[in-house]
Amino acid sequence: MKIFNSLTRKKEEFETIEPMKVRMYVCGPTVYDFIHIGNARPMIVFDSFRRYLTFLGYDVNYVSNFTDIDDKIINRANELGISASELASRYIDECKKDMQGMNILPATTHPLATKEIDGMIELISKLIDKGFAYVGHDGTVYYDTTKFKEYGKLSHKNLDDLQSGFRDIKVTGEEDKKTSTDFVLWKPKKEGEPYWKSPWCDGRPGWHTECCVMAPKYCKGALDIHAGGEDLIFPHHENEIAQYEPVYEEKYARYWMHNAFLNINNQKMSKSLGNFFTVRDVLSKFDGNTLRLFMLSTQYRAMLNFSFELMESSKASLLRIKNAVDNILFTLKNKNVNVDKKAYLESIDIFDELVVDLKTCEEFSKSEIEAFDKICEYTKMYFDKLDDDFNTADAETAIYEIVRVANQNVNENSSIEFLNGVLLILNTLLYILGIDLSKEDKGSEIDEKLIEDMIAERSEAKKAKDFGNADEIRKKLLDMGIELEDTRQGVKWKKI
């Protein structure tokens, strides 16, 4: 598998520090409000990447923090007349609800910045001792960017150009900075703000110090992968490297993965433009499966344009997949085989064994052998695309091709082995992308028993030659978004 490394700006073969173990850190949100649709992209992309690594057999230690102390949190808390900790706790809970709505697996650890202050003070002290940081007259601690010779290596920015690009007039409160690119590691408290005691002053850490303490602590050392949105490359991730590497004298992360921006209707998302959407807004109209299918429909390093029209298109694509799976389930049910809708394989070893066994299955008809060979080709295409810098866009295309082959070949004459094989392959490929077809679409939850009862009532009406009533029941179901199909196997229904 190859992934694009932002540090080297090229695709590299993925090799971990420890064999078959992955230390992965993804920068989480600052929790002062509901998370927005831009926050959802890295959450979904890297959750899916984690799922794939796990499927491949890696033991993944997946760490993603919550920034629970920040100027935005303090200002919002003051507006609401509550403490910063109360506000942060409230929106951490809300964030977790949204993550659950997007089918995002809980991280191995969700560290909180406010619980790691001692570690931050320790790191800052070491930077001062090594000459990479200095203390201002008011107790502010600054990082001296001129001392770290590799500063700018992640963002590929030259320090001289950076310094000349900054304003000559220093921001109020930063009079002690030696150079314009130096950044704050510890800041003095202001009246009414939360603070912690330190050797320099009562105050709190700078944002850039938080992650480079939490990441190695909970990943247990240097990282295999550090990930986040491309807006974090500079200065946040650049400044993490600058703090970690001089102290620990080792590379902070082997691979840096960054997803591109998300625009709204081809414009940058902004409250002033009226195109600012929270995840909660979107999940009130669409389900998490649709949102994931949309987010993964573009390769993660390419800019993604969000619109409700595009979401409707993803919803239609999802329905096409779901109808194909439901058709397989219906056919199995008529063969007196009940299958869990969530049935999938969580290991590539088991998956490969299944495919090999099915390819030599004596129960397959000639047409099933040909169809299954095509499905295997598209399955290989799916994994090849994920192995090529996690190209989920083309991987989704492979799923659509499998759905097409399934629709052409699944019928009442299909063998149970063929049906089960196609179902497990589809569900497995969908699971890696975090798509759970056992969940219903938002706003279209259905009562399956009610539908089955109405179908039975319609069948009785047809037997009694009461075709008017039978047609009326069909119309009622159609109004509910349920389409019927009379087959030799019985009545099939699907959502439209």
Q: Report if residue 186 sits inside a domain.
A: no
pLDDT at 465: 85
Query: What does pTM read for this prediction?
Result: 0.88
The total domain count for the chain is: 3
Question: Region 324-332: what's the mean pLDDT?
Answer: 94
Q: Residue range 338-353: average pLDDT? A: 91
pLDDT tens profile 88-102: 999 999 999 999 999
Residue 138 lies in a domain: no
Tokens of 12: 């590299």
Whole-angstrom Cα distance, residue 372 to residue 442?
33
Select from 334, 331, 490 the least CA-distant residue to 418.
331
Neighbouring residues of 356: CB distance < 8 A, sequence distance ≥ 6: none
Identify the band that residue 336 occupies on the pLDDT scale cut at 50, 70 and 90: very high
Q: Are residues 322 and 411 in the same domain?
A: yes
User: Do 115 and 254 reside in the same domain of the chain?
Assistant: yes
- Which whole number is the average pLDDT over 399-418? 96
Domain match, 345 and 320 both: yes
Instruction: Check whether residue 279 and residue 408 sit in a common domain.
Output: no
Per-residue pLDDT at 168 exceeds 80: no
Residue 441, domain member (yes or no): no
d(CA 16, CA 21): 7
The helix or strand, by DSSP H or E, that contains position 11, with its residue range, turns out to be: strand 10-13
Q: Please indicate, yes or no, whether residues 106 and 34 belong to a single structural domain of this protein.
A: yes
**Average pLDDT along the chain:** 92
In a domain, 161, yes or no: no
Within its chain, how far is the Cα of 489 from the centroid? Answer: 40
From 249, 284, 319, the end of a domain falls on 284
Give the model's confidence band at 173: pLDDT under 50 very low, under 70 low, under 90 confident, else very high.
Answer: low
- 316: tokens are 């239609």
Same domain, 383 and 483: no
Return the pLDDT at 446.
Answer: 56
Query: Distance between CA 34 and CA 254 in Å, rounded?
Result: 32
pLDDT over 70 (residue 447): no
Task: Give CA separation, 226 vs 43, 154, 254, 402, in Å.
Answer: 13, 12, 8, 33
Sign of torsion over alpha carbons 332, 337, 343, 345 = negative
Percent of the chain with pLDDT over 70: 96
Which residue in this structure is represented by tokens 């002053």? 201
pLDDT reported for residue 369: 96
- For residue 164, the model assigns a pLDDT of 60
Residues 478, 341 share a domain: no
Q: What is the pLDDT of residue 172?
A: 44
Handedness of CA 67, 72, 74, 77 (dihedral sign): negative
Q: What confidence tens digit (pLDDT) does each residue in 270-317 have?
A: 777 878 899 999 999 999 999 999 999 999 999 999 999 999 999 999
Residue type, 369: I
Place of tokens 């389900």: 287
Report the amino acid identity of residue 373: D
Q: What is the mean pLDDT of residues 404-414?
A: 96
DSSP string of 393-454, one letter each residue:
HHHHHHHHHHHHHHHHH-STT--HHHHHHHHHHHHHHHHHTT--TTSPPTT----HHHHHHH
The tokens for 355 are 């495919």
How would residue 488 be classed by pLDDT, with cut points 50, 70 and 90? confident
Please tell me whether residues 15 and 41 are part of one structural domain: yes
Question: Between the CA of residue 207 and those of 72, 231, 373, 435, what are the distances in Å?
Answer: 12, 14, 53, 34
**Mean pLDDT in residue range 425-444:** 83
Which of 34-48, 343-357, 453-467 is predicted least confidently?
453-467
Which of 187, 189, 166, 165 lies closest to 176 in space, CA to CA? 187
Residue 261 within any structural domain of the chain:
yes
CATH of the domain at 74: 3.40.50.620
Element (DSSP H or E) covering residue 228: strand 223-229
Residues 416 and 456 in one domain: no
412 close to 488: Cβ distance less than 8 angstroms: yes
- Is residue 7 domain-resident? yes
Domain end marker among 240, 266, 284: 284
Q: How far apart are CA 238 and CA 156, in angstroms?
A: 10
Instruction: State residue 192's pLDDT score.
Output: 87
Structure tokens at 467: 């075709």
> Could you give the 3-state DSSP secondary structure of residue 369?
helix
- CA–CA separation, 77 vs 30, rounded Å? 13
Res. 171: pLDDT tops 50: no
pLDDT for residue 457: 84
Verify that 20 and 114 share a domain, yes or no: yes
Confidence class for position 186, pLDDT limits 50, 70, 90: very high
Residue 104 has pLDDT above 60, yes or no: yes
Distance, in Å, from the CA atom of 351 to the CA atom of 358, rounded to the nearest integer, reads 11
**Residue 115: per-residue pLDDT:** 97
**Containing domain of residue 280, as a range?**
2-130+208-284
Higher-confidence position of 439 and 103: 103
Question: Which is nearest to 375 in space by CA: 350, 346, 404?
Answer: 404
Q: Are 119 and 240 part of one and the same domain?
A: yes
Q: Same structural domain for residues 378 and 454?
A: no
Read off the DSSP letter of residue 54: H
Summarize the confidence of residues 440-456 as an average pLDDT: 67
